[in-house]
Structure 1
Amino acid sequence: MATGLLMDLVAIVTLAYALYYRRHHRRDLLFAYIALNVGIFAVVSLLLVQRVDIAVGFGLFGVLSIIRLRSSEITQQEIAYYFVAIALGLVNGIAGGTWPLTALLLDAILLVVMYAADHPKLFGRTRQQIVTLDVVHTDPDMLKVDLENRLRAKVLHHVVTQIDYVRDVTVVDVRYVANARVGVR
């Protein structure tokens, strides 16, 4: 179990600090990922010592992976980090003591995939933002021009999610390319 715990701690610190925190700078989630992972590891290790069926571990994994965190809004990226933190805890809790090479290989695969998939240079300039405008546009082309002027970016896609004619407000979900040259009108 000590081998599995050591491997798990190295893996979760790599995920939480070296990858997540350095890219996204949310200290609260750094702590949450580490706490979640070590908690999962401890529970799985206990389940294995008590000879509980492996299905209980996977059930626990399933339940924890569908929990909606209600304390603050989190992004899809942050949910992915939660999921990998859970997976690392399960992998190292189940295989760390018995099959340490398998656990190391799976840790490496998970970390490399997260490193590559969340790398800033991979679609790094593409952004998503919810924008509230102080105007209602009836012409979709004019809406796009207004968004590009306000964001100073090339709008790739936009969806109007709310229009309030009383307050003269439009809420738009916008996908855009940051720092792209657009003609400011």
Structure 2
Amino acid sequence: MNALYLSLADLAAIGVLCFAVYYPRHRRRDLLVAFLGVNVGVLAVTTALVNSDATLGLGLGLFGVLSIIRLRSLELGQHEVAYYFAALALGLLGGLGSLDLPLTLLLMACLVAVIAAADSPQLFARDQQQLVLLDGAYTDEATLRAVLGSTVGGEVRKVAVHKVDLVNDTTLVDVRWSSVRPATDQGRSEATLGRTAVDA
């Protein structure tokens, strides 16, 4: 009976994670399908392995290989990798029907809560990051920081130069800064910048 309750709990947890946390914040339908598919797939196969003669270690090893292939086949943001492995973990917890039911439910709830809190837009709301293409070739870091500070409208915290093109007179740089305005106002100010910016 525990297996049924754990399966239902897993479906509820992945539903909350995908439809109440991930999709309203990031709006990527393709990854929504991927998270749901990998979760239900892990749940189904883990449940089958637990109730068969096959070793659970073999099944988990196969899923580890599949997850690496999947992650290498599509470029994901670090926050999306966290959601991906959360979906895997929820499926494993739901498929191991021999686990203590209250403990498993608590672990599932904690996992969803941690991901929701860590990915909250309110957490470090002033910290921003962008990949910026400047219309000038800057080799001096102090000058580059000054230009970036006026471009992004905030205090530059970290700069990583990706490419300096002396022929086309451009600089591609990954900049992280703390905005002097709330994040909602920052987006409006970026429309007035005289540079080309591409979200990282």
Give every structure 1 segment of 4 or more consecutive aligned residues whose post-TM-superposition deviation is greater than 4 Å. Answer: none
Aligned to 1:37: 39
Q: In the alignment, is residue 70 of structure 1 matched against residue 67 of structure 2? A: no
Whether the 8 Å CA contact 1:154–1:180 is kept in 2: the answer is no
Distance 1:11 1:70 in 2: 26
Aligned to 1:163: 164
Percentage of identical aligned residues: 44
SS of 2:46's equivalent? helix
Aligned to 1:138: 139
Distance 1:157 1:13 in 2: 37
Count of residues paired in the alignment: 180
Aligned to 1:86: 88
If the length of structure 1 is used for normalisation, what is the TM-score?
0.87
If the length of structure 2 is used for normalisation, what is the TM-score?
0.81
User: After superposition, what is the alpha-carbon deviation per residue over 1:124-174, rounded to whole angstroms, capped at 9, x for unaligned?
Assistant: 221221111121113212211211222222211111111121222211111
Instruction: Name the CA shift for 1:133/1:123 in 2 (closer, same or farther; >3 Å).
Output: same
Q: Shift of the alpha carbon at 1:99? A: 3.0
User: After superposition, what is the alpha-carbon deviation per residue over 1:91-131, rounded to whole angstroms, capped at 9, x for unaligned?
Assistant: 10113x65322221110121121122212221122122111
Instruction: Name the CA shift for 1:125/1:70 in 2 (closer, same or farther; >3 Å).
Output: farther
Aligned to 1:50: 52
Please, what is the CA RMSD of the aligned residues? 2.1
Work out which of the residue numbers 20, 23, 26 in structure 1 matches 2:25: 23
Whether the 8 Å CA contact 1:129–1:175 is kept in 2: the answer is yes
Q: In the alignment, is residue 151 of structure 1 matched against residue 163 of structure 2? A: no
Letter in 1 for 2:113: V
Whether the 8 Å CA contact 2:6–2:105 is kept in 1: the answer is no
Aligned to 1:127: 128
Distance 2:63 2:127 in 1: 32
Q: Which runs of 5+ in 1 are unaligned?
A: none
